[in-house]
Amino acid sequence: MWHPMTGKDAPDGCRAHPQPGGDPLRPTAISAPQRTRAPLELGCADPTHPCQIDNFLISDPPLKQVVSHTYEAGLRGQLTVGGAAPLVTKEKGSGTDDKQGGQLTWSLGVFRTQTTDDIINVASIVPMFGYFQNAGETLRQGVEAKITYRWDRWNAYANYTFIDATYQSYLTLQSPNDPAANPVNGNISVVPGDHIPGIPDFRFKAGAEYQITDAWKLGADLNVFGSQYLIHDDNNQNPKVPAYWVVNLHTSYQLTKNVELFGLVQNLFNQHYYSAGTFVSTAGFTGNGGSPINFETLTDPRTFLPGMPLAIYGGLKATFSPDELQAPAPAASASVLEAPAAAPANRWSGSYIGANGGWLASTSNSVGNTGTDTGGGGLGTGLATGAIPTSVGLGYNGFLLGGTAGYNWQVSPMWMAGIETDFDGAIARNSTTIGSIAIPGFAPQTTTYARELDWLGTFRGRAGVTPVSQLLVYATGGLAFGQTRLGSNYICAACLPAPVAPAATVRTAFGWTAGGGVEWAFAPQWSVKAEYLYVDLGSIGNFISYAYNFANGGNVSTLTSTARETEDIVRVGVNYKISGL
């Protein structure tokens, strides 16, 4: 490669950074690095001996060295924006730096990477296997833009990357499950300009964070990913994996110099999306009986990886430096012997009210069916023949929001006991339909099921320890009560008479709960908490009765559906102390 600074040939792997424009000009970069072929690639590079797991270190045909040439150029800058009056807070006051306005930094760049003998993974004609091979020349080029803004307690950013990743060589690749592949040998033809699959065409990220107090931060970010071709759709003949977006929240509170309380909400709006996709065989699986019987066959070879659903995390993070862990205790002195101002002995004692909200998910995620039948064509027969399943997978999740009241006794400077009650409304439901399954000699039959939690309350004891005066770590347990629903329905359009849909069972249930949490008193009368509860409300059942065959004296069949009501709950709350100051 020609070196732009010396005018002489330079060895592969060198990088030059001419900066003709000073600081505002982003360094221009030219490089030609080589990538070492990984052992797993070298050990799985034979089409006649594909690998299911990339860890076979066997003697396969050698792969060529990967060499790339990269060119980058761009601009960057920084300026002061705005002259509005700064935010003045009790903790921070008004600083001279705030009056100078916010600091905005930006950068804009372009890049182009041409790769020779790139290595790609190829699907094998052997189901569930694959191998690596060189793919001629590939090109990745695009644009990057970034902007950040900081002012007083605000910090915001936005990043955008566009990438055009394409093949630059004619290739014949195996992709036997691709609908566009040659039906005889499973090959596809790639031409220059076809996009490399599995790479989103753009990424956009933006977020902001606000420092509410010197110890408490709250922020949110938006992530947008562009569409991409399915993995092994190297000739781009199938619909792309759609673009998607997610919003996340995060917060942290610095309890002490070394201890931080944090919370994280991922996929706040519970977006349903796919993060990637590929192809699978539609032939299903073959049984081990005398004659091959395929089951679980598919009509569409495309398979997608679902994105992460709504998730809520919380916890404590402690960090200590080696010096802090090993520092000797200071020698006593007259100043040390003087008693410091004592923390309030009754910081936690007294009554309080508050609000809470969070996320719940069922842990018993099935509905069981039992039935009877005095004839040969009703619900019991449907169970016996498989038209009605004996067990149906059905869980639910959702939100809780409500109020709290309680009373604490600080029995010693380090120990606390108390009682607490809460009542939350819930939005947590799910439903499913099973069928229609055709059984020889019987009409097609369908069953539907629905589960729901309307509201939930608890009455619990709490006991905890205060390692520092403002922090309470506690365990809790007691009575739980709530309203649950279970509905089931039998549909048989060809049956005479037609079944009548029964009403769902609505049950006010009583059970138990246990869990634990942490609570932080950030002001004399205010505290925030995060806790986990396991709730068991027992079982709920729904009953269906269906009478038929009246011309021959009549038959009666029944179906009883039951479900166990157990939930995991993660929630946060804020409490206000109203007595015992």
DSSP characters for 100-135?
Answer: G-EEEEEEEEEEEEEEES-EEEEE-SSTT-EEEEE-
Residue ranges and CATH numbers for the domains of the chain are 15-80+101-321 (2.40.170.20), 345-577 (2.40.160.20)
Which H or E element spans position 40?
helix 39-42
- pLDDT at position 206 is 94
Predicted local distance difference test score (pLDDT) of residue 261: 86
Look up residue 157 and give its amino acid.
Y
Please give the Cα distance from 285 to 302 (Å, whole number).
17
Structure tokens at 62: 């050698």
**234 membership: H or E segment, kind and range:** none
Is 0.75 surpassed by the pTM of this model?
no
Token reading at 248: 């996340």
Residues in the chain: 581
Burial label, 466 (beta-carbon count in 10 A; 0-12, 13-18, 19+)? buried
Strands, E assignment, 118-179: 119-123, 130-134, 137-151, 154-167, 171-174
Q: Cis omega before residue 497 (within 30°)?
A: yes
Position 282 scores a pLDDT of 82
State the pLDDT at residue 159.
95
Both structure tokens of 75: 């601009």
Q: Which two tokens stand for residue 90?
A: 């009790």
State the Cα torsion 352-356-362-367 to the nearest 10°: 80
**Is the distance from CB of 268 to CB of 229 less than 8 angstroms?**
no
* Full pLDDT tens readout for the chain, 581 residues: 333 333 344 444 444 444 444 444 445 666 666 666 565 565 566 676 666 554 454 545 678 888 999 999 999 999 887 654 444 444 444 444 445 678 999 999 999 999 999 988 888 888 778 888 888 899 999 999 999 999 888 999 999 999 999 999 999 999 999 998 998 898 999 999 999 999 999 999 999 999 988 888 999 999 999 999 999 999 999 999 999 999 999 999 888 888 888 899 999 888 899 999 999 888 765 555 444 555 557 788 888 999 999 888 888 887 776 665 554 555 544 444 344 444 455 678 899 999 999 999 999 989 998 888 887 767 777 788 777 888 889 999 999 999 999 999 988 888 999 999 999 999 999 998 887 655 555 667 788 889 999 999 999 999 999 988 889 999 999 999 999 999 888 777 767 777 777 778 899 999 999 999 999 998 888 999 999 999 999 999 888 887 777 677 778 888 888 999 999 999 999 999 987 54
Query: What is the separation of C-alpha 256 from the centre of its chain, rounded to a whole number of angstroms?
Result: 30
Residues whose CB falls within 8 Å of the CB of residue 246, separated by 6 or more in sequence, listed in order: 222, 223, 266, 267, 268, 269, 271, 273, 307
